[in-house]
Amino acid sequence: MERYKPINAKAPHFWHGADYNPDQWLQDSHILEEDLRLMKLANCNVMSVGIFAWAALEPEEGKFDFAWLDRVLDRMAENGVYAVLATPSGARPAWLSQKYPEVLRVGADRKRILHGNRHNHCYSSPVYREKVELINTKLAERYKEHPALLVWHVSNEYGGECHCALCQEKFRQWLQQRYQTLDALNQAWWTAFWSHTYTDWSQIESPAPHGESSIHGLNLDWKRFVTQQTIDFFQHECKPLAAITPDIPVTTNFMGTYPGLDYWKFAPAVDVVSWDNYPRWHGKEEDWRLASEVAFVHDLNRSLKNGKPFMLMESTPSMTNWMEVAKNKRPGMHLLSSIQAVAHGADTVQYFQWRKGRGGVEKFHGAVVGHVGHEHTRVFRDVTQVGEVLKKLDPVLGATVHPEVAIVFDWENRWALEDACGFIREKKYEETCQRHYLPFWKRGIPVDIINEDSDFSRYRLLIAPMLYMVRKGVGERITEFVATGGTLVTTYLSGTVDENDLCFLGGFPGPLRKVLGIWVEENDALYDDEVNHVAMLPGNVLGLRAQYAVTELCDLIHLETAQAVAVYKEDFYTGRPAVTVNKYGAGEAYYIASRNEDRFLDDFYRSVIERIGLHPVVKGQLPPGVTAQMRTDGERDFVFLLNFTTEERRIDLLEEEFTDLLTQETTRGIVELPPYGLRILERAHGSLV
Ligand code: GLA
Ligand code: ZN
């Protein structure tokens, strides 16, 4: 197992810092020096600079002012603070929108927006592309040798879509390339439906609330196109950067499970994945449950590049201003949630934001430095503590994990599933994937979050909840995975449509029918207040006995080569199979036909884990609300014990011997974790081989 190289060899340590907007403080020359003093005090070694600074960099068209940024970067370098340097396209100066209205985005309602806010430019506009290329070139030329420069932070949180005439034309070109002929497109989109056959490419328009929304193939391809056009824009931004600073890695900050972009397509275009994490700690959901959902997204970001460590580009040091309730992090949570990212593969802990501005919509957003302006605050102390801990984690840098378990979380599947009319309105795909993740988080078993195109052969257990869309070749690869000894778990609604969102003919679950050994004849749906039950059959292979509640979705299936593990208890399908297993080649394939309560998933996976002998990170049992995660370089394992409850928790590490990375003490037997407490332990590489 390899250790990944540092993101930039100039700074082979954990990076700790924040979005820094000195361009908001140019009127006050003392602020920069005061910030540098505070950055050192807070153990911050990297700042993300210039993210929304276009108006300060190019106050008039073609008139550039880099003097202020020179000073900021020079002073940072002189003080040992590095820069994640941004390109400013996330927001633009007023003169640009005014002179070139084509840069302003057009909504699905075909209305062009007015100037304002941010993240709202057209991805196709030649003028915007030209202006962005120019400023990016200037930045790269000016700072290519700058000692502070570590990484390019390209734009900010790309998102949304533009329906202007330029984008429509690009969409049609993209479709022409994809389908070659209108006949092929009409077939793929099933346009004979409601007489929607296209007879000329120019008739095709993006989906609109007052226009077309009933052609699923169109909806799906539009989303694919938006991803493609966004990546194309990103790559356009990167061209001058790659030419002038070929050794400086590029990233752009992703937004977790943001529905609008397929990050599986985007990830290969960045050198290092980074993402912005804003969980609602201490909210309606218990912190430990939320922690497992956040863990899922961290794992996704690590998996996007096959285990390569990622950057936690943004998180809040205290509260997040745009939430319904902007609650502060309770004592302990800041360190815990920061180290959680590290436990799942982050090589940086960064915040939005360094200093609160005096005005604007984000003036109350959590920041390292508040309006009071000094370091004597709880938040500042919390941040300083994270920096102290990160300084001790050099051995963890670049280490990763190669889990035995993978859960498929596939954007195209999600788009098709959520667009489907039928079953139930809210499909809850993301929530379902996260519910299947929880039993592993609880037991401290690492998981990769992959998509349909990933290589399955590296895993022993493949979980693909609601695998509604099965793209070409995927059924064969899943079948091969099971035939060669893998264990597959999938659920209701799987194997329903192909990559064009066209239903499989000849019996569901389509290309998964053989490996699962079942035929799904009907899909039933229950109202919110309705419940069915499944009962485990005596002597079932999983050794389970209980009954479990079923809500929302129930597939009615027939056994072909599979055997029943559980059956429905109620309604006209009483006694029909509800959970099945099919031995196929050297492996096994499970089908969970209904949406069962969490207690079922917990028992089911406990049994599967035992049956195939998956390895948890630590041998001792984990108490409720505590997880164990690990990273390894193949020689040493770094084990993170994280307590997401407000109570003290004890874990028995049994006979294993560890060194505490923070205190250097030898640790074995019982360890105590205070409320929201954590331990970071090192041992010789062992249990997860
Ligand atoms: C996003 C943006 C930041 C900031 C934060 C606030 O992540 O990238 O610029 O607005 O949200 O939470
Ligand atoms: Zn456009």
Percent of the chain topping pLDDT 90: 99
Using alpha carbons, select from 296, 402, 393 the residue that is nearest to residue 348. Answer: 393
Q: How far apart are CA 566 and CA 576, in angstroms?
A: 9
The verdict on 480 and 437 lying in the same domain is yes
Residue 30: count other Cβ atoms within 10 Å of its Cβ: 8
Q: Give tens-digit pLDDT for 414-427.
A: 999 999 999 999 99
Residue nearest (by alpha carbon) to ligand 1 atom 12: 320
Task: Return the pLDDT at 689.
Answer: 37
The verdict on 587 and 647 lying in the same domain is no
Ligand 1 and 254: CB distance under 6 A: no
Ligand 1 and 352: CB distance under 6 A: yes
Ligand 1 and 156: CB distance under 6 A: yes
The verdict on 103 and 147 lying in the same domain is yes
The verdict on 572 and 653 lying in the same domain is no
CA of 352 from ligand 1 middle (Å) equals 6
Q: Give tens-digit pLDDT for 176-213.
A: 999 999 999 999 999 999 999 999 999 999 999 999 99
Task: Return the pLDDT at 527.
Answer: 98
Residue nearest (by alpha carbon) to ligand 1 atom 7: 276
Would 638 be classed as within a structural domain? yes
Would 297 be classed as within a structural domain? no
The verdict on 442 and 523 lying in the same domain is yes
Q: Give tens-digit pLDDT for 374-428.
A: 999 999 999 999 999 999 999 999 999 999 999 999 999 999 999 999 999 999 9
Pocket test for ligand 1, best of 352, 353, 354, 361 (most atoms within 8 A of CB): 352
Would 29 be classed as within a structural domain? no
CA of 216 from ligand 2 middle (Å) equals 22
Q: Which two tokens stand for residue 621?
A: 């049992």
CA of 100 from ligand 2 middle (Å) equals 13
- The CATH number of whichever domain residue 121 belongs to comes to 3.20.20.80
CA of 102 from ligand 2 middle (Å) equals 8
Domain boundary (555, 578, 612) is at: 612
> What is the arithmetic mean of pLDDT over 102-126?
98
Task: Return the pLDDT at 240.
Answer: 98
Look up 133 and say whether it is catalytic.
no
Q: Which two tokens stand for residue 670?
A: 């019982």
Q: Which of 1-5, 69-73, 190-194 has the lowest mean pLDDT?
A: 1-5
Ligand 1 and 365: CB distance under 6 A: yes
**Partners of 639 in beta bridges:** 630, 681
The verdict on 606 and 633 lying in the same domain is no
Which candidate in 237, 314, 588, 656 is catalytic? 314
Atom of ligand 1 at shortest range from CA of 255:
7
Collapsing DSSP to helix, strand or coil, 687 comes out as coil
Question: Could you tell me if 331 and 296 are in contact, meaning their C-beta atoms sit under 8 angstroms apart?
Answer: no
Ligand nearest to the CA of 170: 2
Residue nearest (by alpha carbon) to ligand 1 atom 5: 352
Ligand 1 and 155: CB distance under 6 A: no
Q: How confident is the model at residue 688 (pLDDT cuts 50, 70, 90)?
A: very low
Q: Give tens-digit pLDDT for 470-496.
A: 999 999 999 999 999 999 999 999 999
Residues, the chain, total? 689
Would 442 be classed as within a structural domain? yes
Ligand nearest to the CA of 233: 2
Kindly list the protein residues that place their beta carbon closer than 5 angstroms to ligand 2, a single-atom ion.
Answer: 122, 124, 162, 164, 166-167
- Per the structure, the complete domain to which residue 126 belongs is given by 53-262
Residue nearest (by alpha carbon) to ligand 1 atom 4: 352
The verdict on 665 and 520 lying in the same domain is no
Pocket test for ligand 1, best of 118, 276, 297, 322 (most atoms within 8 A of CB): 276
Q: Give tens-digit pLDDT for 623-661.
A: 999 999 999 999 999 999 999 999 999 999 999 999 999
The verdict on 506 and 641 lying in the same domain is no
Question: Could you tell me if 569 and 518 are in contact, meaning their C-beta atoms sit under 8 angstroms apart?
Answer: no
Collapsing DSSP to helix, strand or coil, 221 comes out as helix
Question: Could you tell me if 349 and 390 are in contact, meaning their C-beta atoms sit under 8 angstroms apart?
Answer: yes
Which candidate in 58, 157, 293, 499 is catalytic? 157
The verdict on 79 and 205 lying in the same domain is yes
Using alpha carbons, select from 243, 266, 235, 54 the residue that is nearest to residue 129. Answer: 235
Would 47 be classed as within a structural domain? no
The verdict on 562 and 658 lying in the same domain is no
Question: Could you tell me if 141 and 244 are in contact, meaning their C-beta atoms sit under 8 angstroms apart?
Answer: yes
> What is the arithmetic mean of pLDDT over 284-295?
98
Pocket test for ligand 1, best of 153, 312, 314, 324 (most atoms within 8 A of CB): 314
The verdict on 571 and 646 lying in the same domain is no
Ligand 1 and 275: CB distance under 6 A: no
Would 195 be classed as within a structural domain? yes
Atom of ligand 1 at shortest range from CA of 322:
12
Ligand nearest to the CA of 276: 1
Give me the chain's average pLDDT, please.
Answer: 98
CA of 178 from ligand 1 middle (Å) equals 35
The verdict on 545 and 648 lying in the same domain is no
Ligand nearest to the CA of 226: 2
Ligand nearest to the CA of 103: 2
CA of 112 from ligand 2 middle (Å) equals 10
Atom of ligand 1 at shortest range from CA of 156:
8
H helix runs in 511-587, sequence order: 513-516
Q: Which two tokens stand for residue 58?
A: 């190019």
* The pairing of beta strand 487-491 with beta strand 461-464: parallel
Cis? peptide before 509, omega within 30° of 0? yes
Look up 314 and say whether it is catalytic.
yes
- The CATH number of whichever domain residue 580 belongs to comes to 3.40.50.880
Task: Return the pLDDT at 2.
Answer: 80
Residue 544 DSSP one-character state = -
Ligand 1 and 314: CB distance under 6 A: yes
**How many domains does the structure of the chain reveal?**
3
Ligand 1 and 153: CB distance under 6 A: no
Q: Please, which residues have CB within 8 angstroms of residue 53's CB and are 6 or more apart in sequence?
A: 21, 23, 69, 86, 88
Domain boundary (565, 590, 612) is at: 612
Full-prediction pTM beyond 0.75?
Answer: yes
Ligand 1 and 351: CB distance under 6 A: no
List C-alpha distances in Å: 679 to 123, 189, 289, 336, 378. Answer: 45, 54, 20, 10, 22
CA of 163 from ligand 2 middle (Å) equals 5
Type of residue at 201: W
Task: Return the pLDDT at 510.
Answer: 98
Does residue 603 register a pLDDT over 80? yes
Would 267 be classed as within a structural domain? no
Ligand 1 and 320: CB distance under 6 A: yes
Pocket test for ligand 1, best of 362, 363, 368 (most atoms within 8 A of CB): 362
Ligand nearest to the CA of 91: 1
Residue nearest (by alpha carbon) to ligand 1 atom 3: 352
Q: Which two tokens stand for residue 264?
A: 């599986």
Q: How confident is the model at residue 1 (pLDDT cuts 50, 70, 90)?
A: low
Domain boundary (612, 644, 670) is at: 612
Cis? peptide before 547, omega within 30° of 0? no
Does residue 254 register a pLDDT over 80? yes
- The CATH number of whichever domain residue 641 belongs to comes to 2.60.40.1180
Q: How far apart are CA 680 and CA 689, in angstroms?
A: 20
Ligand 1 and 277: CB distance under 6 A: no
Would 396 be classed as within a structural domain? no
